[in-house]
Structure 1
Amino acid sequence: MKRKRMVERFRFPYMQRQMYDLLLAACRAEVALRHREFVASDSYLRHIADVARWLTGTDTTFGLFLCGNRGNGKTTLVKAMKSLYNLLHSDEGYTSQNDCWPLFGFEIITAKELVLLAKAYNNRTRDNMSDVGRYKRLRDVEVLCIDDLGTEPRESLNYGDYVNAAMDMISYRYEEQFCTMATSNLAADEIREYYDERFADRFREMMQIVDFGNEASFRTIKR
């Protein structure tokens, strides 16, 4: 039998301290784009350090789960990682990316939007092939982040059939061992309650957890 190819764990080619400095600068830039002033607490800087350690280390997990209150910088940190990913690959051509496995790229999608794409994929018509194509790309892209996991309905009806969009996507990427990230207001121990034990077990295996807890927002209006 032909052996399945093992996916190399996604990591940035920097030392941990370099990664921390790059992430911090990228977070500042993301906040500045929204005309806000970046005011980071000691705990937020520790979270950046935790992510930098995971992005450069030898940890065997191939996923990252950022959980905690709204407005405390989880999505900002993910966007900072995407900016650095794009910077790292900015001098590479795109002609051969479809030959790569997994597909080249770093995609971010909200859990609610993922439900809509999953419905399009399950109900393929000539009119929704762009959504179908995007859903297929999300399944196989090198790095995928599902933002606001848990804000989507766990099950959605689609012409009488149930769609479990986030569960299906993460389970597929778990089997393929593709790098998958998620942000959520759900705590790590609430994943089982919102989804189910089988999904939670896979989630625990693949994800490095960074808990932002009840920290206040670090964004203030720039004056």
Structure 2
Amino acid sequence: MSAKEATPEAAPKAGLPTLHHLSDSQSQSIVWLLEEVDVEYNLVLYKRDQGHRAPPELLDVQQLGKSPVFVAADGRTIIERSAISAYILKTYDTTGKHAPSDWVKDEILNSYAGASLGPLTTVELMFDLAAKHTPWPLVYIARAFRKGIQKNFTTGEFKKSMAFLEGELSDNEWFNGKEFGRADIMLSFPIDYIHMRKWADLEKDHPKISAWRQRVWERPAWKRGLEKGNGYDLTLF
């Protein structure tokens, strides 16, 4: 399997699907998925700017200017990880190897990753950024707000979230069952965020989730995705 890596200025190879990938972002899980399925694809790389925002070139790809953006081989532009991962699996997993073993559970976990866990990480990140970038002497107020939010909301919610996911994983290797599936793709980014920014201690308090994350990172396709990408450090912000 191969990917044509390019800068935003280079023209992707015609006739192939194209992933527009932003460094240090949730798009890395889509690179992983593309490496898992047997398809050749273009990979167009974008670096975050000095303010850690997406560069303006992504606005030329899709009006929201965010990543990932997946342009299918037929030219259709698809945004949002959930929709992109669903399209890739439906199009390229022709044997159904990664189809959900329990479609109701799959829908619950995919929805939970985007509608519950995603916003929770965003709230925590916003207060992290406020505590980090608010100028003196107001920084002490920002830090106090962050501690209050953590004490009264986010820390407890992270614990409940990880306990819930441990139960959903149970004794399976993957949230999808015997083989990884869309739920594993969707959960990989928020769980990486939580682990890298130390919002929860996975190794100590959530060993099943920790072992699941290690399995993801040990997969050859994940390693290839990291090599082809342009950075995946979620502590930069």
TM-score, shorter chain, exceeding 0.5: no
Larger helix proportion, structure 1 or 2?
A: 2
Q: Which fold has the larger relative contact order, with Cα–Cα distance below 8 Å and residues 6 or more apart in sequence?
A: 1
**TM value normalised by structure 2:** 0.29
**TM value normalised by structure 1:** 0.31
Larger strand proportion, structure 1 or 2?
A: 1
